[in-house]
Structure 1
Amino acid sequence: MTNTTDPRPLYREALAWTTGLIDTVREDQLTASTPCADFDVRTLLGHLVATAERARVIGEGGDPGTVPLVVTDIPGDGYGDAYRSATERMWPLWTDDDRLDATVTAPWGTVPGRAAIWGYINETLVHGWDLAIATGQPPETRPELAEAMLAVARHAIPAETRGGHVPFADVVEPLPAAGPTERLANWSGRKSV
């Protein structure tokens, strides 16, 4: 799927879903823990903004390592606007179809542009799930979107190569009733809650 599929429509959908989640986060939830052990809600929101900024830098042909892992200078009620602004700056760089096959530098290596986009779809959906769980929101995106990403993730993030330079915990066995977004989060090492 990653070799020929245009991931941009799915990325746009993932970003829209996550934007909706961000918009409903209350300031009193910013210190809540999330299923991602590295982040509370505030730092997770700052990380989501950073992922859109990194996708922009990648689209420019730059090094995403120049963008911090977490954007920290956002007021408590400004995450939705910051995320929207970051995605709006990023999209024009990815409208050229040639960017999909151009070689780019992603945090995980030198890859075709479409592989970088797939990586950020995964990041957006899994961290969207984290945010939804932490803030009591519905944690499932459109099933077909999550299933498409899960199919790519199973190939791109093998279960056997976790830890070290691969920043994913071991795959978690999904609960029988887990939806596709939760199963994607499980594949990324998140425990069901």
Structure 2
Amino acid sequence: MNPVDDLAAVLDSTSALVAGVSHWDAPTPCPEWTVRELVNHLVLGHRLFTGVLRGEAGGSLDPRTADALGDDPVAAYREAVVRLLAAFRQPGVLERVVEVPAGRVPGIAAVHLRIVEELVHGWDLARATGQEPSFADDVAEREIGFSAAKLGDLPPERSPFAPPVPVAEDAPPLDRLVALLGRSPS
């Protein structure tokens, strides 16, 4: 499977979760973020990666310093998704080395970083809003492999994740992914 197609499918599932939000000020599994701040973080991240992939300046990832959602968070999220996918579909982008918050990576790694970010924060959003995420198990499985292989490459001071949490080996792939990245699926 093309990882950009995986990203598109994950973004589509998260779009449905964003569209289903009714309480934007609800708390999330990310202790310092409300639902609105979490979605804002995703939009800012999409904009940052879009800019990087297009060779432009990215912007702030701190949802407390920039409001990317305006009066229509669902539309803002969808617009950021369209632009991000267009940026990843540019010829040669997956082979190019780009500078992202995790460091200098090939474009193929950048797309996996966005997939993981979207899966984990999509899980956070689903938990916060009482929705059921509809991410494909095979995509989550691929990202478990990517994440497990790459976690050791991150310097401890740059790791955005908590230590892994124990989870049953037969747990659903999304639960195993979020546990690998420090969230408790129970």
Task: Choose the corresponding residue for 2:16, options 17, 20, 34.
Answer: 20
Matches of 1:188 and 1:58, distance apart in 2 = 25
Q: Secondary structure at the match of 2:148?
A: helix
Answer whether contact 1:162 1:170 (CA < 8 A) is retained: no
5+ unaligned residues in a row in structure 2: which ranges?
none
2:43 — aligned with what? 49
CA contact under 8 A between 2:167 and 2:179: conserved in structure 1? yes
Contact 2:45 2:61 in 1 (8 A): no
Answer with 139-148 or 104-113: which moved more. 139-148
Instruction: Name the counterpart of 1:189.
Output: 182
Matched residue, 1:87: 81
| Between 139-148 and 43-52, the greater mean CA deviation after superposition | 139-148
Q: Is the CA contact (8 Å cut-off) linking 1:46 and 1:74 kept in structure 2?
A: yes
Q: Does 1:11 align with 2:7?
A: yes
Asked if the contact 2:70/2:76 (under 8 Å) is kept, the reply is no
Q: What is the aligned residue count? A: 184
- Which blocks of at least 5 consecutive residues in structure 1 are unaligned? none
Per the alignment, do residues 6 and 61 of structure 1 end up closer, same or farther by CA in structure 2, a change over 3 Å counting? farther
The normalised TM-score by structure 2 is 0.89
2:140 is the alignment partner of 1:143: no
Partner of 2:94: 100
Q: Does 1:132 align with 2:92?
A: no
Compute the RMSD of aligned alpha carbons: 2.1
* TM-score relative to the length of structure 1: 0.86
CA drift of 1:62 comes to 3.6
Instruction: Write the deviation string for residues 104-126 of structure 1: whole angstroms up to 9, x where unpaired.
Output: 11111111011111101000000
The 5 Å alignment of 1:112-131 reads 112-131=106-125
With 87-96 and 123-132 compared, the bigger mean Cα shift is at 87-96
Which residue, out of 142, 152, 165, partners 2:146? Answer: 152
How many percent identity over aligned positions? Answer: 31
Q: For each residue in 1:65-91, what CA deviation from the matched residue of structure 2 results, as whole angstroms up to 9, or x when unmatched?
A: x23332425346x22110111111222
Closer/same/farther in 2, CA of residues 182 and 113 from structure 1, 3 Å limit = same
Deviation, 1:163, is 4.5
Instruction: Measure the CA separation in 2 of the matches of 1:118 and 1:106.
Output: 12
Aligned-partner SS, 2:99: strand
